[in-house]
Amino acid sequence: MSNPVFQHAVLIGKHQAAGVTRTLAEIAGWLADQGVEPLVEQQTALLCDLPGYASASLHDLGREATGDLVAIVVGGDGTMLGAARQLAPWGVPLMGINSGRLGFITDIAESQWRGALGAMLQGHFEREQRAVLAGQVLRDGEPIYDGIAINDVVVNRSGATGLVELRVDVDGRAMYAQRADGLIVATPTGSTAYAMSAGGPILHPSLPGLVLVPIAAHTLSNRPIVLPDQVRIDIEVASRSDIGVNFDMQHFADLLGGDHIRLQIAPYRAVFLHPPGWSYFSTLRKKLRWHEILGADD
């Protein structure tokens, strides 16, 4: 390969997936043959047998990146989201090879990685930026947790019974109070995840918006609502116990009555690289099993 656009590639794998070590080893050897230095993410290196390659944490790699680093993720969307959360603040782009099930954002078939990566490392790719949701949990006005999400932040009950009581403000103005099983605040990327299963709309990833979706609201008039992405959302917990908050389904801790979750779009974006000819609508047709459009290529 002549003059690849990236000089270094960090490999990240879902170590529980069958065959992932073999795939990672094949990709690493292939990258070296193409003149790209393969690196291995620290946790992947610990859990997969990939001797002979340098390893480092994604934080350290991102902090030291100079624009010639790309991340190659082998796994499902969960693995991709975990890597994106760590690399988004540094602007490191990600390519996803799908060894999972749905694969909304890991869109390179595992059987086709050589052809796809060969073209993409030569600069033939679709570059896409996705919004990142930044959040903070406040107790008695003091921050006790900071987190980010590519998909969504979910406030819901952690016990088996009972409703969650929440008050929601937007830019300091009261929007509503609700009693429900919980509330999802989703980015356009997350609109096809939990928010969709709870009855929310699909947002195209280029839209500058956020969707709030109640989970099994006690009042049927509490409907999903789409907000502009410049707003600040404050969620106050009015219930007393058995409530938790999740950032991309990464559980934080149980919340107390009076706690606040403050959310707004981060000043940076997650960068995903897709194979040439990639189409968001093609992804929806395949993953949601929509009827194919007559005459469509895929």
> Following DSSP, what letter does each residue of 193-244 receive, concatenated?
THHHHTTPPP--TTS-EEEEEEES-SSTT---EEEETT--EEEEE-S-SSEE
Query: What is the structure's pLDDT at 287?
Result: 83
Q: Where are the beta strands (DSSP E) in the chain?
A: 8-13, 37-41, 55-56, 69-75, 94-98, 108-109, 126-139, 142-149, 152-157, 164-170, 173-180, 182-186, 209-215, 225-228, 233-237, 243-247, 250-255, 260-274
Query: What is the structure's pLDDT at 48?
Result: 84
Check if the beta carbon of residue 275 is closer than 8 Å to that of residue 126. Answer: yes
How much is the mean pLDDT over the chain?
A: 91
Q: Which two tokens stand for residue 106?
A: 């890991």
Determine phi and psi for 111, rounding to 5 degrees.
-75, -10
Stretch 32-36: mean pLDDT: 95
Query: What is the structure's pLDDT at 293?
Result: 58
Stretch 282-292: mean pLDDT: 82
Better-scored residue on pLDDT, 296 or 267: 267
Q: What percent of the chain is modeled with pLDDT above 90?
A: 70
Give me the residue spans of the domains in the chain: 8-125+275-288, 132-267
Stretch 19-48: mean pLDDT: 92
Is residue 297 scored above 60 in pLDDT? no
Query: What is the structure's pLDDT at 275?
Result: 93
Q: Which two tokens stand for residue 151?
A: 């998909």
Whole-angstrom Cα distance, residue 7 to residue 17?
Answer: 28
Torsion of CA 172, 173, 179, 182, to 10 degrees: -40
Whole-angstrom Cα distance, residue 98 to residue 74?
Answer: 6
Whole-angstrom Cα distance, residue 111 to residue 22?
Answer: 13
Query: What is the structure's pLDDT at 102?
Result: 65
Query: What is the structure's pLDDT at 161?
Result: 65
Query: What is the structure's pLDDT at 251?
Result: 78
Q: Which of 77, 107, 234, 248 is catalytic?
A: 77
Query: What is the structure's pLDDT at 296?
Result: 54
Q: What is the pTM assigned to this prediction?
A: 0.92
Stretch 266-282: mean pLDDT: 94
Whole-angstrom Cα distance, residue 135 to residue 154?
Answer: 11
Residue 99 confidence class, pLDDT cut points 50, 70, 90 = confident
Within 10 angstroms of residue 175's Cβ, the number of other Cβ atoms is: 17
Is residue 94 scored above 80 in pLDDT? yes
Question: Which CATH number applies to 132-267?
Answer: 2.60.200.30
**Which contiguous run of DSSP H or E holds residue 85?**
helix 77-87
Is residue 60 scored above 60 in pLDDT? yes
Check if the beta carbon of residue 98 is closer than 8 Å to that of residue 274. Answer: no
pLDDT, tens digit, for every residue of 211-266? 999 999 888 888 999 999 999 999 999 987 778 999 998 877 788 999 999 999 99
CATH topology of domain 8-125+275-288: Rossmann fold (3.40.50)
Same fold, 8-125+275-288 and 132-267: no
Indicate if 77 belongs to the active site: yes
Check if the beta carbon of residue 272 is closer than 8 Å to that of residue 93. Answer: yes
Determine phi and psi for 85, rounding to 5 degrees.
-60, -35
Instruction: Let me know if 58 is exposed, middle or buried by CB neighbors in 10 A (0-12, 13-18, 19+).
Output: buried
Query: What is the structure's pLDDT at 295?
Result: 56
Query: What is the structure's pLDDT at 103?
Result: 76
Within 10 angstroms of residue 31's Cβ, the number of other Cβ atoms is: 23
Check if the beta carbon of residue 183 is closer than 8 Å to that of residue 155. Answer: yes
Is residue 95 scored above 60 in pLDDT? yes
For residue 6, CA distances in Å to 33, 65, 94, 222 come to 14, 11, 12, 48
pLDDT, tens digit, for every residue of 118-136? 999 999 999 999 999 999 9
